[in-house]
Amino acid sequence: MADKIATREAYGKALEEFGAVYPDLVVLDADLAAATKTGIFKKAYPDRFFDCGIAENNMIGVAVGLSLTGKIPFASSFAMFAAGRSFEQVRNSVGYPHCNVKIGATHAGITVGEDGATHQCCEDIALMRTIPGMVILNPADGVEARLAVKAAIEYKGPVYLRFGRMAVPYVYGDDYKFEIGKASVLADGDDVAIMATGIEVEQALAARELLAADGVSAAVVNISTIKPLDRETVTAMAKKCGAVVTCEEHTVIGGLGAAVCETLAETCPVPVLRVGVDDVFGRSGPAKELVSYFGLDAAAIADRAKRATALK
Amino acid sequence: MDEKRLAELSEISRKIRVGIIDAVYSASSGHPGGSLSIADLLTYLYFEKMNIDPEHPDDPDRDRLVLSKGHCAPGLYSALAHRGYFPVEDLKTFRKTTSYLQGHPDMKHTPGVDMSSGSLGQGTSVSCGMALSCLKDGRKNRIYAILGDGETEEGQVWEAAMFASHYHLSNLTWIVDLNGLQIDGPISEVMDPAPHEDKFRAFGWNVVHADAHDFNSLEKAFSEVVAPDRPGVIIQHSVKGKGVSFMENNVAWHGAAPNAEQYEIAMRDLGER
C-alpha cells in the first residue's frame, strides 16, 4: 500500500470493488471520469457506466430516474458543479423526494490547486447542509473513503460524498469501523479539542505534535459525517477540553465550524475558533502551498488552538 | 376508436375538468389553464393508454408518467382520483396545510405520482433516467413526461433531449403541451421556443403532432411516436383553459382561481348545472 492516496482515487477503486457486490450499482459522470476516477469503474463495468457529457443538471435528474427504478446511482463531477451548479436539481429532484441518489463530488476545496478559484469549491458543505435529509460524508483518507462508499451504498437515501484531488496519508488501518453519523477520536487530549474533516485531519494531527512540544494537550477528532453531526461526541469533547478548534478545507461560513458552533451553542458553550477558508475565493498554486497560504496548515491550527485555550 | 369509447372518454375528461375547477376553487389558488389544456391528454393516458393499476401503484413494470410541468397538479390529481388512486372528494383539500395534495406533485405522499415535480425542466431528466434503467433491464414498459411549451425555454430540457437521443431511449415519450401561453404572455413574445419540431428533429427525436382535444388524433399520435431506436415527442396543439369559456386562450388564468360567480359559470360550461 502506498503511503498516500487521494480520496478520489480510493473512491474510484471502491466503486469498482463494490460494483462486483452490488449489481444495481451504476455510475454517472459528466465528462470528468478520468479526473473523478469513476473511469476505474467504467473500465470494469462499461454497461453500468453512463457518461452524461458536460451537462451536470441533467445528470442529477437522470440519477434520480435511475434510483426510482431500483438502481443505486453514483453521480460524479467536481464539487463545484455537482453541488454548486446543480444545487437546485439536488434540492428539488434528489432531496425533496428523498431519492436514493449518491453524489460523488471530487476536487473539493482549494487543493484542486493550479486550476484556481473557478474550480475550487469551498461552499459545497454549506449548500448541502441546508437540504433536509441529506447525508454529508467527507472522508479523511483512502481507508475511510472506501468505507464511506460502502456505507453510502447500503444507506437508503441521498448522500453527498466529498473527495479531494490531493494525495493524503493514511490515518486509519484496515481494522477501522466506519459508521455514518459517528465521529472518531483519533487522539485524546485535555486542553483543546481539534475537530477536523477531510484533508485537514492530517494537518490537525501534525498540529497536535506542535502543541505537545509547547505543553498543550490537544485531542483530535475526525468528523467525517458532517450531517447528521455526531452531537454526542462533539459535546463530550467540548466538555472535556473546554475549548474547540474546527478545521476544514471549506469556507468558515456554513461548514463544519458552523455546524459545531450551532451544536455547542445549545449543548456546551465553550470558545470555538474556526480554521477554514476565510470568506475569500481560492487561487492558483500548488495544492500544498495553498494549504499554508490559506491558513489551513498545522502551524495555523496550533496557533488557533493556543488562542482558543486562552479564551477559556 | 369507436363512438362508444369516444363518448366514455369524453365523459371522463369532463369529470376531470370539473375536478380541476373544484380543486382550484377550493384552494383559492392554483393553475387551471394548463391543467385544462392537458385534461384530454391525461384522460387518454390514464384511462386508455398506460399500463397501470391503482391497486399496485409501485409495480416496477408499470408505465410511468412524470408531470414535468408540475404546476398543472390539479389536472394530474383529478385524473388520479377519477382513476381510483384516492377519493375524488379529496380534490377539495388541494393546497390545504394538512393535505397530501400539495401545490406541486409530491410523490412521497400522493399515490400514483411517479415523481415530485414543479421546478421546470427537471422532470425531463428524471424521465430519461427511468427510461434508461427500464431499457437496460429489458422491461416492456413506457415512460412518459408532459412538458409545458414555456418549459422548453429551460436549458435542462435540451440537455435531457440530447441524452435521450444519445442513449436511444426508444421507450421514452414526451408530450409538449403547445398552448402558446406562459405567465408573462404569449410564448412567441416572452421567449419564443419555436420551432419545436425542427429543434427536436435536430436533437434526433421522432416528432409527431396531435390535436390535444381529439382522442382519435391523440391515439394516432401515440401510435406513430414510437420509433425503434430513438425517443419520440408529441407536440400537442392545445387550448389553454379548454372547456371553461372565460379561461380559454386567456393568459390571466395561468395561475388564478375563479370566484364564486365564475365558478358557477365554469360548472355550467362543464355541464354540471
Q: pLDDT per position in chain B (273 positions), as tens?
A: 999 999 999 999 999 999 999 999 999 999 999 999 999 999 999 999 999 999 999 999 999 999 999 999 999 999 999 999 999 999 999 999 999 999 999 999 999 999 999 999 999 999 999 999 999 999 999 999 999 999 999 999 999 999 999 999 999 999 999 999 999 999 999 999 999 999 999 999 999 999 999 999 999 999 999 999 999 999 999 999 999 999 999 999 999 999 999 999 999 999 999
Mutation for A interface: B65, B104, B114, B128, most A CBs within 10 A: B128
How far B171 CA sits from the closest chain A CA (Å)? 14
Contact B112, B57 (CB under 8 A): yes
Crossing angle (nearest 10°) for helices B155-166 and A56-67: 60
According to DSSP, the residues that pair with A135 across neighbouring strands are A159
- Chain B residues with CB-CB distance to A69 below 8 A: 60, 129-130, 133-134, 137
Residue A155: helix, strand or coil by DSSP?
coil
Q: Which three cell numbers stand for residue A255?
A: 461548514
User: Cα(A166)–Cα(A147) distance, rounded to whole angstroms?
Assistant: 19
Residues in chain B: 273
Q: Which three cell numbers stand for residue B176?
A: 409538449
Count Cβ atoms within 10 A of the Cβ of residue A115 and give its class: 0-12 exposed, 13-18 middle, 19 or more buried. middle
User: E strands of B112-189, at which residues?
Assistant: 143-148, 172-178, 181-182, 185-186
- Asked whether the beta carbons of residue A65 and residue B114 sit closer than 8 angstroms, the reply is no
State the residue for C-alpha cell 429551460.
B154
How far B37 CA sits from the closest chain A CA (Å)? 25
Question: Which residues, 6+ apart, have CB-to-CB distance to B191 below 8 Å?
Answer: B153
User: What pLDDT, on a 0 to 100 scale, did the predictor assign at position B165?
Assistant: 98
Residue in A56, A144, A202, A249 annotated catalytic:
A56
pTM higher than the cut 0.95: yes
For chain A, say whether B78 makes contact (Cβ under 8 Å).
no
How far A224 CA sits from the closest chain B CA (Å)? 29
- Asked whether the beta carbons of residue A68 and residue B128 sit closer than 8 angstroms, the reply is no
Residue A169: helix, strand or coil by DSSP?
strand
Residue A126: helix, strand or coil by DSSP?
helix
Contact A38, A12 (CB under 8 A): yes
Active-site residue flag, A248: no
Question: Which residues, 6+ apart, have CB-to-CB distance to B182 below 8 Å?
Answer: B148, B149, B150, B153, B190, B251, B254
User: What pLDDT, on a 0 to 100 scale, did the predictor assign at position A196?
Assistant: 98
Tens digit of pLDDT per residue, chain A (312 long)?
578 999 999 999 999 999 999 999 999 999 999 999 999 999 999 999 999 999 999 999 999 999 999 999 999 999 999 999 999 999 999 999 999 999 999 999 999 999 999 999 999 999 999 999 999 999 999 999 999 999 999 999 999 999 999 999 999 999 999 999 999 999 999 999 999 999 999 999 999 999 999 999 999 999 999 999 999 999 999 999 999 999 999 999 999 999 999 999 999 999 999 999 999 999 999 999 999 999 999 999 999 999 999 999
Which residue in A186, A199, A168, A157 sits closest to A294, CA to CA? A199
Mutation for A interface: B126, B140, B162, most A CBs within 10 A: B126
User: What pLDDT, on a 0 to 100 scale, did the predictor assign at position A8?
Assistant: 98
User: Cα(A29)–Cα(A192) distance, rounded to whole angstroms?
Assistant: 41
Report phi then psi at B173, rounded to 5.
-130, 125
User: What pLDDT, on a 0 to 100 scale, did the predictor assign at position A1?
Assistant: 59
Mutation for A interface: B102, B125, B168, most A CBs within 10 A: B125
One-character DSSP codes across A202-224: HHHHHHHHHHHHTT--EEEEE--
**H-helix segments, B28-98:** 32-37, 39-44, 73-83
**Measured between CB atoms, which of B116, B124, B163 is closest to A97?**
B116
Residues in chain A: 312
- Asked whether the beta carbons of residue A97 and residue B137 sit closer than 8 angstroms, the reply is no
Question: Which residues, 6+ apart, have CB-to-CB distance to B247 below 8 Å?
Answer: B32, B33, B36, B240, B241, B253, B266
- Asked whether the beta carbons of residue A92 and residue B122 sit closer than 8 angstroms, the reply is yes
Q: Which three cell numbers stand for residue A90?
A: 439536488
- Chain B residues with CB-CB distance to A96 below 8 A: 106, 116
Which residue in A48, A52, A51 sits closest to A22, CA to CA? A48
- Chain B residues with CB-CB distance to A68 below 8 A: 64, 114-115, 126, 129-130
For chain B, say whether A69 makes contact (Cβ under 8 Å).
yes
Taking the CA atoms of chain A, what radius of gyration do you get in angstroms?
18
All structural domains of chain B: 3-269 (3.40.50.970)
All structural domains of chain A: 4-169 (3.40.50.970), 184-310 (3.40.50.920)
- Asked whether the beta carbons of residue A52 and residue B163 sit closer than 8 angstroms, the reply is yes
User: Cα(A236)–Cα(A184) distance, rounded to whole angstroms?
Assistant: 12
% of chain B with per-residue pLDDT over 90: 100
User: What pLDDT, on a 0 to 100 scale, did the predictor assign at position A2?
Assistant: 74
User: Cα(A190)–Cα(A305) distance, rounded to whole angstroms?
Assistant: 12
**ipTM of model:** 0.97
Residue B230 one-letter amino acid: R
